[in-house]
Structure 1
């Protein structure tokens, strides 16, 4: 299979540099149709490979917390996209060979395959296998005429066409299935931009959407006739107000032994002379004015940093990795330090590199920040961790995974 895919790759590469402008119109359209059909067939191959990777447990064997996380790191996908691929690969492999074949034949697209699979899942809960097969045939035929959005709308009444005697009874089942999909697809992604801002993307289920609107709408109203902010700017400011109000309640859960807090790193000179910037423990940068404003309503936690950004003095040592020592660990690792993991500091445990039970000290040079999954994985696998010459953690993979055992680092928490 690898050799055949390599040959297909070479053939496609030859087409990339071909002069499309020289094609007569009918050949241009034919080439577009062929490229689209090839894309759909390759999607079928990709799903089959993902299903095999997931079934073998390859992701967890290589240290990832799930196949979706492994795909994110391997193929540079977003987690939602990777999760949808894994789910569809599983669905088509276990219960929908007709949909898989239609995709392999280039008859339907990946998005249409998702719609048909979702619809057939609903049919299976209220009808027999024969009816489900009929639904696949009808939807596949419709897919030649309708895009995924229209196809999903038509699919809500598919039983009117394949089993009208039970159509009304299953209408509620379709609504319930949609609610389950909404719950499964809920997510919120925070993407750091190069200038320190965050891009928020995601999908809220109906209940959470109602809660957000109820909380944010009163705060996003115009302040008066002279309010020149756009609607989007007002919602942004309302979200900031909502976060401030929540932090002031003092009722947020603790993390790492410390109460919920915003940690800003700066220098004493920058704070007193209004020079330079500050850095949040998430890696985002703040202007001098913002740092001074936050300092007006905050407890100052001093930290002295060396030339490589290593915390040198963060207060007295404690037996547990909490308080000043944990804050130093967050400043250094910025999140789970295991390669390929993007878990933030507040989701992480502090791990002793030289185990406490074996006489290892509780110190910054003997600690690394790990999420729950990778903390367990490190204790029960052949991976090892050490501090490199610059004082930052690096992980040595087992020989079966990398015979050269080249040290690996996490690149998701870089601040530059």
Structure 2
């Protein structure tokens, strides 16, 4: 079927028909086509404008241009370039065996695993020159350099101005089947290898401080992985030093934690024991305070002075409510002292009486008479002796009790009674007693 040229200017249809001929041999060349175009064009037709040319030399000019175009090709030859994956594979195949092993580590360091296991979400990264070359033996550095140069020449890698190396684009992953297989097979290893590389770079960048080492379970995970990692993916020496430092710090922390446990547990046990003993002592003290307070209450009338001391003592032992009550009882107690009365002989002529001032107690009988001091001392004075003193002289009954006289020495304290102080007798310090050279006798 011939092309439909009805929409073309009639003067150009023959030229286009010849140019679009199915047989290539019948198609005119460029020079012939230009000449035929010039001849077919009439002045003023609009196809060729020769008005601006000198002497109407438009046709000559077109002929000269056609000859020059015939000598210079209009189109450059198309250069066939192999696909990216094929170029990378050819470059890898041309590397020596040691360099191929270095290529595996190099590429796995440059591929970042994504969330999808099929590798569809994987990406690429730039590895600094120190990550690839520092700390390696000369043979490994040479193999790594050959791998970088070979893949860079093939267009698979790009070397940055600062020496960093990166893949040309993420298209390298789907384009190179070998790289996809490596990434899928070593998915776990490359994840941990890149984590280790990043941590090592940060550790060196910050001055190899202990705070930048890995902590928790991550060092143990990497050390367990290191025992099973393929030889081609083993970490570089700097990364191994990082793992060694992390393991040392981890062991030191475990040791310190163990020592802290060994030290703290006895301290805790001792503290608990101390608190328990103190609590037991407090309970025992409270029980003793209650017992002493009860004893003080029982001795209020029998031994008031002892009861007062016991009330104070019970509160000092433990301030329990019972001890506080005993202390208040001692403060408000009216009885301050009790005296054991001497025994009285049986008979009508025996008995006891107070002195006139109430400061003494006389116990009399036909055989003897005793006086007990009942004076209350001043607050700062010592308590007088309460031992009964035997009075000199003999007892004589006079007109019924309590009227009596005493016969004895010229001077001596005498007992009380109505009308006892009669002249010429004189009164002693106790009052109510009489003395005389021959004794005194009651006068009516």
For this structure pair, what is the TM-score category when the shorter chain's length is used for normalisation?
Answer: under 0.3
| Structure showing greater relative contact order (alpha-carbon pairs closer than 8 Å, 6 or more residues apart) | 1
- With normalisation by structure 2, the TM-score equals 0.17
TM-score (normalizing by structure 1) = 0.18
Higher helix share: 1
